[in-house]
Every structure is written in C-alpha cells, then in structure tokens.
C-alpha cells in the first residue's frame, strides 16, 4: 500500500469514528440526552475531535510529504529521462561505430583474402623461379667444372705440345746426329733397322702432380736422368706402409721432369698421391 493510501485509510477511519459517535448520541437522546451527553459522550466527542484534529494534521503532513515526493519523483523522472536520452544517443553512436567497424572489418577481410591469394600465387611463382634458379645453378656449376677440366686439359695439352715441340726438335737433332754418326761409320740409318728401346736406366723419383682422373702423373726425373718417352716405371708408396701401386709409361720428358700415363689401373683402384715413388726397378716388400 502506498503512503497516500495509508493516509486515506486513516481519514476514513476518523470519519467512521465520528459517525459512530454521532449515531450513538442520536440513539441515546430519547432519554436524558443532555446528561448522557455531558457525562458519557461529550468527553468521547472531545476525544474524537482531538483524534480528528490529529488525523487532519497527519493528513496535511502526508499531503505535504506526497507533494514533496511527487516533486522529487518528477525530478527523478526528468533526470532518468535525460539519462535515458543520453544513453540512447550513446547507443546510437556506439551502434554507428560498430557498423563502421563491421564494414571496415569486412573490407579488411576481403583485402586479406585477396592478399593471401596473391601471396599464394607469388609463392608458387617464387618456388618455380627457385627451382629454375637451382636448375640453372646446377647447369652453371656443371659447366664450371667442365670448363675447369677443359682448362686443365688445355694447359696440359699446351704444356705437352710445348714439350713435344721441344722433344721433336731434340729428336730431330738427335736423329740427324745419329744418322750422321751411323753413315760416317758405314751403317744404315733406316729406322726399321734400329732395335727397340733399351731398358730404362736405374732411376728413382717422386710424383709431383696427379690429374683429377688419376690417369696421368708428373714426376721429378727427366731426360737428364736418361728417361725417354716409352720407358716404363713402377709406382710405390712407402707411408704409412710400403705398397705397390702399378706402372706408368713415359709420354713426354723434360730435362728435370717427365709426364707419364698409368698403364691399365692401379692396384685395387687406389689413388696416386703426390710424394709416391717412381722407379725403374721393383723394390722388395718390407
């Protein structure tokens, strides 16, 4: 029950008591009503009047409180309406921002998807280019290796050609001297009548260089030691243990060096190394 309702109930009770008192007085007036009123009802009426006055004061106070409450309620309503309006405006603003952000997110998602698709295409292209680059680099490396081998062969052939030119010139000079010597001694200088090469002299040297194919070697002894093209020498190794490697045949000679080729293959396919021994005789195993 509200405060105003309580006040109305009190007022109704006051009027009910007042009417009750009046009806009682009327009922008892037919017999000595004045004495009855003076003795019995007059104090009651005075008391009821006092209660009515008190109740009237309480009603007036309640009305004042009601008016104040209505003013305060109105102020609260206005305040709440103002706050509600502010909240509504804030909700509209936030909703607008959310819509804007949602649009931006959709645009960003679309841009991200497009960027991801482009990145995937770029990655495929990069992988393809990387594969092509690897293939080209492999071919280039093979060409470099081949070029290096060819350059080595060219240098070897140039050196061999130079040695051959020198040997040819030397051989011509020797042949001319031998022919002159043979003829001066009444002998024939026909090459078919010359015996085959004699056994190589007793010589020993070392391997100075080996080609990449392990087929040709350069040794530290030459024509000054009595070597000529066609001589056969033996290959040995002394460290870490003595072992026989194979044979070489002299191709070209210089005064202090010569070039030979491996005859067949080395023992067990072993690689010839710089420092290995070349000799015209087979050494006994240690």
Per-residue pLDDT of the chain (286 residues; tens, 9 = 90+): 677 788 888 888 888 888 888 877 766 665 555 665 566 767 777 788 888 888 888 888 888 888 888 888 888 888 888 888 888 888 888 888 888 888 888 888 888 888 888 888 888 888 888 888 888 888 888 878 888 888 888 888 888 888 878 887 887 787 777 667 655 643 335 443 333 355 668 899 999 999 999 999 999 999 999 999 989 999 999 888 889 999 999 999 999 999 999 999 999 999 999 999 999 987 644 4
- The closest alpha carbon to 231, from 275, 196, 268, belongs to 196
For residue 237, what pLDDT is reported? 92
pLDDT in the model for residue 111: 83
Mutual angle of helices 42-184 and 3-28, in 10-degree steps: 170
pLDDT at 205: 95
Q: How many CA atoms lie within 13 A of 212 on its CB side?
A: 9
What pLDDT sits at residue 240?
87
Q: Using CB atoms within 10 Å of the CB of residue 231, give its burial: 0 to 12 exposed, 13 to 18 middle, 19+ buried.
A: buried
**Is residue 222 exposed (0-12), middle (13-18) or buried (19+ Cβ within 10 Å)?**
buried
Overall CATH class of domain 200-279:
mainly beta
Q: What is the predicted pLDDT for the residue at 91?
A: 86
Query: Could you tell me the two tokens for 211?
Result: 């080609």
Alpha-carbon gap, residue 37 to 32, rounded angstroms: 8
pTM of the model: 0.34
Q: Quick one: which of 250, 189, 181 has its CA closest to 221?
A: 250
Residues whose CB is less than 8 angstroms from the CB of residue 275 and which lie 6 or more positions away in sequence, other chains included: 206, 207
3-state helix, strand, coil in the chain (%, to 5): 65, 15, 20
According to the model, what pLDDT value does residue 18 have? Answer: 87
Q: Give Rg (Cα) of the chain.
A: 68
Q: Can you tell me the distance from the alpha carbon of 46 to that of 52, in angstroms, rounded to the nearest whole number?
A: 10
């Amino acid at each position: 029950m509200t405060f105003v309702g309580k006040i109305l109930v009190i007022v109704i009770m006051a009027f009910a008591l007042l009417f009750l008192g009046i009806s009682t007085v009327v009922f008892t007036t037919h017999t000595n009503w004045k004495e009855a009123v003076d003795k019995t009802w007059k104090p009651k009426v005075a008391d009821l009047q006092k209660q009515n006055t008190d109740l009237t004061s309480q009603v007036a106070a309640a009305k004042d409180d009601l008016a104040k409450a209505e003013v305060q309620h109105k102020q609260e309503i206005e305040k709440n309406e103002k706050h509600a309006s502010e909240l509504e405006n804030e909700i509209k603003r936030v909703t607008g921002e959310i819509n804007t952000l949602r649009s931006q997110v959709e645009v960003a998602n679309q841009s991200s998807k497009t960027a991801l698709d482009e990145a995937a295409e770029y990655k495929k292209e990069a992988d393809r280019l990387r594969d092509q680059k690897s293939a080209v680099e492999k071919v280039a490396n093979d060409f470099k290796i081949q070029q290096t081998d060819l350059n080595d062969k060219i240098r070897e052939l140039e050196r061999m050609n130079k040695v051959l030119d020198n040997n040819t010139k030397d051989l011509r000079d020797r042949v001319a001297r031998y022919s002159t010597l043979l003829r001066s001694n009444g002998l024939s200088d026909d090459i078919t009548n010359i015996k085959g090469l004699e056994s190589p002299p007793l010589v020993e040297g070392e391997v100075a260089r080996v080609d990449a194919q392990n087929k040709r070697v350069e040794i530290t002894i030459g024509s000054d030691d009595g070597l000529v093209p066609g001589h056969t020498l033996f290959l040995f190794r002394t460290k870490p243990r003595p072992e026989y490697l194979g044979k070489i045949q002299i191709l070209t000679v210089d005064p202090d060096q010569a070039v030979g080729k491996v005859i067949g293959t080395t023992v067990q396919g072993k690689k010839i190394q710089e420092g290995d021994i070349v000799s015209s005789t087979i050494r006994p195993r240690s």
